């Protein structure tokens, strides 16, 4: 009588008997032990026998043997539910899987009690490390408990400087977006930000710095009237665009701090009888895949490299941690569509004003079938 009938399921001994190899060989093959040399035929026999019998390796035994489980923890505030930030999880999960590990993901919704309980559970399960992620780029206070394991702050920066961080390069992004408009020939380039600089959010401060840097490089003196704080929402983009275009010397191009702001700008320009990019060019930021490609015309924007950032966070945990406080910045690539063109002549306050007609507000563009 074999051990297959016991209540705990098939054992490593059963797999060895079915594959015609030793139990030690099964252990080394299934645990992918470094330095173990077996023919591909032997490895295939072991894996096929384990699969046919429904054998699973013992995670608890792995913890006892190696001191860590085959898992990496991932704790985020609203990352799993954000419209596009979920790509961070996609990248982290893919890299963990390549290393033969699982990503244990917890979305806390910003609940500090849930966060504390989640971290305690992860640490008790001996995860190999923890990725501590934020939905948007900001300074965060990392729980002290993460000092017990390798930990990386993702899409944010550790305020204390105790942990390495991975974040988008906001300054370079703001510079790239503005330079794209300058290279098209625009000299009156407005910027609708996604918040007030005094709030200190890295995205708000950095994108403005990049905008000003590009203007200075082109020999253009920044005009405070062309910079609007904005709020990161469609309504803010709509209102601020109307205000910019009603000025006596309106811009010929607008850099919007995110894609939702750009969507509002599109609506405002249409309400004034102006078209993108014939009359006004627009560049966004985020490359929100449920929005940017479906605006008409498609929005030229910068992509937040969430997949690459997620992969890199897990890579740091797997391959060795950099010095505490180190921040690795990722370039935001420009995604070209059809919202930028050379500037054309626009009316001023000495000419006939725009014919402002009420513009029907619409729902966000829906994804096509299958999305």
Report DSSP letters for 92-106, one per residue. HHHHHHHTT-EEEEE
**Whole-number Cα distances in Å, 109 to 130, 133, 160, 365:** 17, 12, 22, 26
- Order across the sheet with 327-330: list the strands: 102-107, 71-76, 130-133, 151-154, 165-168, 327-330
Residue 342 lies in a domain: no
User: What is the token pair recorded at 15?
Assistant: 């797999």
CB 332 within 8 A of CB 303: yes
Q: pTM (2 decimals)?
A: 0.74
Q: Do 286 and 174 sit in the same domain of this protein?
A: yes
Q: 338: which 2 tokens?
A: 């059809």
| Domain-embedded: residue 294 | yes
Same domain for 136 and 285, yes or no, is no
- Residue 313's pLDDT is 94
SS3 70: coil
Please report the pLDDT score of residue 31 as a whole number. Answer: 66
Does a structural domain hold residue 152? yes
Question: Based on the domain organization, do 186 and 215 belong to the same domain?
Answer: yes
346 in a domain, yes or no?
Answer: no
Query: In which residue are the tokens 């966000």 written?
Result: 364
Q: What is the DSSP string of 303-346?
A: B--HHHHHHHHHHHHHH----TT-EEEE---EE--SS-------
**Which DSSP string corresponds to 93-159?**
HHHHHHTT-EEEEEE-TT-HHHHHHHHHHHHHTT-S-EEEE-SS--EE---GGGGGS-EEEESSEET
pLDDT at residue 326, rounded to an integer: 84
115 lies in the same domain as 160? yes
Cα 157 from Cα 82, distance rounded (Å): 19
Based on its alpha-carbon atoms, the radius of gyration of the chain, rounded to whole angstroms, reads 27
**Does a structural domain hold residue 95?**
yes
Same domain, 42 and 150: no
Q: Tell me what pLDDT residue 15 has.
A: 85
Residues spanned by the domain of 117: 66-169+306-333
Contact indicator for 92, 313 with CB cutoff of 8 Å: yes
- Indicate if 165 and 312 belong to the same structural domain: yes
Note whether residue 366 is domain-resident: no
Identify whether the C-beta of residue 62 lies closer than 8 Å to the C-beta of residue 117. Answer: no
Our count of domains for the chain comes to 3
The count of C-alpha atoms lying within 13 angstroms of the C-alpha of 137, restricted to the half-sphere facing its C-beta, is 27
Within this chain, do residues 178 and 283 fall inside the same structural domain, yes or no? yes
Q: Are residues 203 and 126 in the same domain?
A: no
Contact 93, 101 (CB under 8 A): no
Contact present, 223 and 215 (Cβ < 8 Å) = no
Provide the residue-wise pLDDT of the chain in tens; the chain has 371 residues: 344 444 457 887 888 888 888 877 877 777 665 556 778 888 888 888 888 887 765 544 554 444 445 789 999 887 666 666 678 899 999 999 888 888 988 888 878 888 888 888 888 888 889 999 988 888 888 888 888 888 999 999 988 888 899 999 999 999 999 999 999 999 999 999 999 999 889 999 999 999 999 999 999 999 999 999 999 999 999 999 999 999 889 999 999 999 999 999 999 999 999 999 999 999 999 998 889 999 999 999 999 999 999 999 999 998 876 667 788 999 999 999 999 999 986 444 433 444 433 333 334 443 333 32
> Do 288 and 214 share a domain, yes or no?
yes
Q: What's the CATH number where 41 sits?
A: 1.10.260.40
Q: How far is the C-alpha of 168 from the C-alpha of 155, rounded, in Å?
A: 7
Give the H or E element holding residue 25. helix 23-30
83/161 same-domain check: yes
Question: Under a CB-based contact definition with an 8 Å cutoff, are residues 73 and 59 in contact?
Answer: no
The pLDDT value recorded for residue 22 is 83
102 shares a domain with 90: yes
β-partners of residue 103 are: 72
Residues 210, 266 share a domain: yes
CA angle 35, 37, 39 (to 5 degrees): 155
CATH number at residue 287: 3.40.50.2300
Residue 359 belongs to a domain: no
The reply to whether 370 falls in a domain is no
């Amino acid at each position: 009588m074999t051990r297959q009938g016991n209540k705990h399921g098939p054992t490593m001994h059963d797999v060895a008997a079915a594959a015609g190899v030793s139990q030690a060989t099964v252990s080394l093959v299934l645990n992918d032990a470094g330095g173990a040399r077996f023919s591909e035929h032997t490895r295939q026999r072991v894996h096929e026998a384990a699969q046919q019998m429904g054998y699973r390796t013992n995670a608890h035994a792995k913890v006892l043997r190696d001191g860590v489980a085959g898992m990496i923890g991932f704790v985020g505030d609203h990352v799993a539910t954000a419209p596009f930030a979920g790509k961070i999880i996609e990248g982290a999960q893919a890299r963990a899987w390549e290393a033969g590990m699982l990503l244990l993901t917890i979305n806390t919704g910003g609940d500090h009690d849930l966060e504390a309980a989640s971290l305690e559970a992860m640490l008790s399960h001996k995860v190999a490390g923890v990725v501590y992620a934020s939905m948007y780029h900001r300074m965060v206070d990392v729980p002290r408990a993460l000092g017990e394991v390798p930990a990386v702050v993702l899409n944010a920066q550790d305020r204390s400087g105790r942990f390495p961080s991975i974040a988008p390069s906001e300054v370079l992004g703001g510079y790239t977006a503005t330079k794209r408009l300058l290279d098209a020939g625009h000299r009156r380039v407005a910027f609708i930000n996604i918040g007030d600089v005094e709030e200190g959010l890295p995205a708000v401060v950095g994108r403005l710095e990049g905008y000003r840097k590009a203007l200075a490089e082109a020999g253009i003196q920044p005009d405070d009237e062309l910079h609007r704080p904005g709020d990161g929402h469609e309504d803010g983009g709509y209102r601020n665009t109307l205000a910019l275009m009603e000025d006596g010397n309106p811009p010929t191009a607008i850099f919007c701090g995110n894609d939702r702001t750009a969507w509002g700008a599109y609506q405002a320009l249409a309400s004034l009888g102006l078209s993108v990019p014939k009359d006004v060019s627009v560049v966004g930021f985020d490359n929100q895949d449920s929005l940017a490609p479906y605006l008409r015309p498609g929005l030229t924007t910068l992509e937040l490299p969430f997949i690459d950032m997620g992969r890199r966070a897990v890579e740091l945990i797997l391959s060795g941690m950099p010095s505490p406080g180190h921040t690795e910045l990722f370039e935001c690539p420009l995604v070209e569509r059809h919202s930028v063109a050379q500037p054309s002549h626009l009316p001023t306050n000495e000419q006939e004003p725009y014919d402002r007609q009420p513009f029907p507000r619409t729902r966000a563009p829906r994804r096509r079938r299958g999305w």
